[in-house]
């Protein structure tokens, strides 16, 4: 470990891991599954109270309208919770964007709602790592930074959305708006590995629903008059999977539709996900999908409506972003934290931010693991560790560090 300077020691000294753990546990106790609007409203209120300790104005922003395709193939609106924004020193020449999310993947009726100690310093509970702990890291890093003599040199926006776990469709425009003009961004997903490894380059992600409309008929008397939507959807699924390559993952996930066994089904909905590793692969897939839909429509005499698309563009790491990674690594070295990184197929709001041309490190949150499962855990010492890391990064950026 390198020797901390007096100003660095003074910066991180007030960070209290016990206080952070208490807050994180209280937030984890609130169910905030993306569809639990009451839980999200309660969480947003508690976050607003906690972040009011920082300068700037706090605002709760209504979600953008989002539609989904139901099992009958109808496009319906899906409700989301409000997003929280804190704006501090908007007049500052150099401004940073902090992002996190308050929603989890565990709905209100999911059996995983409680916390338990797995061993000393390792706590199991919903959203502790992904990412109630990360939200607390943002709060305490900023509180430490605000107490420093460098605080007035840097402005920032904090955005905590309510729909990251379902693709940020209700907050994507807000993320793009807040990213504009920022010097850099930090996002507080948990580390890629329990040892603190950061996610580096990321692939992209897209979710699609293909609604197939055929023609019903009696399966015994006149089946030739029918146009079987299930069969067409099945062919779509098989041919989509054939587009899977090393450059793009294609995963047909679900087919809804059909009727009684003696009825030729006249509707079906095929849902699938893609994970392009590069922008070029995403663009090629769009062309391939259009041709595939046209071919299946002709072959089966059905109509097919496509809903959805790329929601997370691939996230390469350019030279400025690499400098930000290097800065985080160097700050970690000062604190005795070994920081490395690796590419990943996962996606998050960091993809959206990078697509705006802003350098971002998007796994600045806590160390933990087994996220999106009832085995999710938080390494509690990492709350204070990662808050200190972010505070030090902020101090370096405020002192004129160039990316």
Q: Encode pLDDT of 225-263 as tens digits.
A: 999 999 999 999 999 999 999 999 999 999 999 989 999
* One domain, residues 253 and 133: no
Q: Report if residue 372 sits inside a domain.
A: yes
pLDDT digits (tens, 9 = 90+) for 198-222: 999 999 999 999 999 999 999 999 9
Q: Report if residue 196 sits inside a domain.
A: yes
Q: How many helices (H) and strands (E) does the chain have?
A: 10, 20
Indicate the residue among 282, 311, 340 that finishes a domain. 311
Say if residue 391's pLDDT is above 70: yes
Domain count, the chain: 2
Beta strand pairing call for 267-276 and 205-213: antiparallel
* One domain, residues 194 and 273: no
* One domain, residues 16 and 66: yes
Q: Report if residue 259 sits inside a domain.
A: yes
- Tell me which residue has tokens 């804190």: 86
Q: Report if residue 16 sits inside a domain.
A: yes
pLDDT digits (tens, 9 = 90+) for 337-374: 999 999 998 999 999 999 999 999 999 999 999 999 99
* One domain, residues 381 and 272: no
Domain containing residue 298: CATH number: 3.30.70.360
Q: Report if residue 1 sits inside a domain.
A: no
Give burial (CB, 10 Å; 0-12/13-18/19+) of 279: middle
pLDDT digits (tens, 9 = 90+) for 50-95: 999 999 999 999 999 999 999 999 999 999 999 999 999 999 999 9
Range of the domain at 278: 206-311
DSSP string, 257-289: E---TTEE--EEEEEEEEEESSHHHHHHHHHHH
Contact criterion met (CB below 8 Å) for 191 and 248: no
* One domain, residues 197 and 223: no
Segment 187-193 shows an average pLDDT of 97
Q: Report if residue 166 sits inside a domain.
A: yes
pLDDT digits (tens, 9 = 90+) for 9-42: 999 999 999 999 999 999 999 999 999 999 999 9
* One domain, residues 59 and 188: yes
Question: Tokens representing 82?
Answer: 């409000």
* Per-residue DSSP letter, 318: -
Q: Report if residue 342 sits inside a domain.
A: yes
Indicate the residue among 264, 288, 311 that finishes a domain. 311
pLDDT digits (tens, 9 = 90+) for 256-302: 999 899 999 999 999 999 999 999 999 999 999 999 999 999 999 99
Question: Tokens representing 212?
Answer: 């197939």
Say if residue 146's pLDDT is above 90: yes
CA 209 to chain centre: 20
Binned at pLDDT 50, 70 and 90, residue 3 comes out as confident
In whole angstroms, give the CA distance from residue 93 to residue 320.
18
Say if residue 323's pLDDT is above 90: yes
The overall average pLDDT reported for the chain is 97
* One domain, residues 45 and 175: yes
Structure confidence at residue 2 (pLDDT): 73
Structure confidence at residue 306 (pLDDT): 98
Segment 148-155 shows an average pLDDT of 95
Structure confidence at residue 140 (pLDDT): 98
Say if residue 1's pLDDT is above 80: no
* One domain, residues 20 and 140: yes
* One domain, residues 148 and 285: no
Structure confidence at residue 45 (pLDDT): 98
* One domain, residues 185 and 236: no
In whole angstroms, give the CA distance from residue 135 to residue 101.
8
Percent residues over pLDDT 70 in the chain:
100
* One domain, residues 237 and 334: no
Indicate the residue among 311, 346, 363 that finishes a domain. 311
Q: Report if residue 403 sits inside a domain.
A: no
Domain containing residue 102: CATH number: 3.40.630.10
* One domain, residues 140 and 286: no
């Amino acid at each position: 470990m390198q020797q901390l300077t007096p100003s660095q020691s003074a910066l991180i000294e007030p960070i209290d891991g016990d206080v952070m753990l208490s807050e994180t546990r209280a937030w984890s106790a609130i169910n905030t599954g993306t569809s639990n609007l009451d839980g999200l409203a309660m969480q947003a209120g508690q976050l607003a109270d906690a972040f009011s300790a920082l300068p700037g104005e706090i605002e709760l922003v209504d979600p953008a309208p989002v539609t989904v395709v139901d099992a009958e193939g109808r496009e319906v609106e899906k409700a989301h919770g409000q997003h929280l924004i804190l704006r501090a020193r908007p007049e500052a020449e150099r401004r940073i964007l902090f992002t996190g999310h308050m929603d989890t993947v565990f709905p209100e009726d999911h059996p995983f709602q409680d916390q338990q100690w797995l061993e000393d310093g390792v706590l199991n509970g919903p959203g502790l790592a992904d990412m109630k702990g990360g939200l607390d890291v943002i709060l305490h890093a900023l509180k430490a930074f605000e107490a420093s003599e460098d605080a007035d040199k840097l402005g920032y926006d904090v955005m905590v959305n309510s729909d990251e776990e379902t693709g940020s469709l209700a907050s994507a425009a807000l993320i793009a708006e807040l990213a504009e003009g920022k010097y850099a961004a930090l996002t507080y997903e948990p580390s890629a590995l329990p040892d603190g490894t950061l996610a580096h380059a990321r692939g992209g992600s897209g979710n699609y629903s293909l609604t197939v409309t055929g023609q019903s008929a009696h399966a015994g008397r006149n089946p030739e008059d029918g146009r079987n939507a299930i069969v067409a959807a099945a062919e779509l699924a098989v041919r989509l999977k054939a587009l899977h390559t090393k450059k793009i993952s294609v995963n047909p996930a679900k087919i809804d539709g059909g009727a009684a066994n003696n009825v030729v089904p006249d509707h079906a909905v095929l849902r699938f996900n893609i994970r392009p590793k590069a922008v070029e692969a995403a663009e090629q897939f769009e062309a391939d999908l259009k041709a595939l839909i046209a071919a299946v429509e002709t072959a089966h005499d059905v109509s097919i409506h496509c809903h959805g698309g790329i929601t997370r563009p691939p996230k390469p790491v350019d030279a400025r972003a690499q400098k930000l990674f290097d800065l985080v690594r160097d700050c970690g070295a000062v604190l005795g934290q070994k920081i490395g990184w690796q590419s990943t197929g996962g996606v998050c709001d960091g993809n959206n931010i990078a697509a705006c041309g802003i350098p971002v490190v998007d796994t600045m949150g806590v160390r933990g693991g087994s996220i999106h499962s009832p085995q999710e855990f938080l390494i509690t010492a990492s709350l204070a560790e990662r808050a200190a890391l972010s505070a030090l990064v902020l101090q370096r950026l405020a002192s004129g560090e160039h990316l």
